Amino acid sequence: MIKPKPGLTSVPVYGSAYPEASAYPNAVPVKPNAPLTYQILPGQEYVTTGTVPDDYYYAVTFNSSKPDDHTVIRGTTPYYQIVYNHRLFYVKAADVEVKQLR
């Protein structure tokens, strides 16, 4: 289970776990990772399936003819995958605490 870290008024929820902009090579356009309209508020807890890597697979051609085509871009921002409204979403690990179930 995850819950917001103490002191936070809300935790943004993301539809993907894309890397931070600095992880992208110059030839690859940055894939923005804007938060969704959902938020986790203090007192709420959600099931997590665990940590997931932040990565993005860039492939725009079938024959790798563009620079950095067919490249996996990996960042350094850890995310937790959560179950929210019967769907899978992501939250940044820096925003939440993990509560162990007994």
| Tens-place pLDDT, residues 18-68 | 999 999 999 999 999 999 999 999 999 999 999 999 999 999 999 999 999
Q: What is the mean pLDDT of the chain?
A: 94
Rounded to whole angstroms, the Cα distance separating 33 from 23 reads 13
Confidence of residue 99 (pLDDT cuts 50, 70, 90): confident
User: Is a pLDDT exceeding 90 seen at residue 3?
Assistant: yes
Lookup result for tokens 């110059």? 26
**Whole-prediction pTM:** 0.88
Strands (E), the chain: 2-4, 11-12, 39-40, 48-52, 55-58, 71-74, 79-84, 87-92, 96-98
101 pLDDT higher than 80: no
Show the tokens assigned to 4. Answer: 């917001």
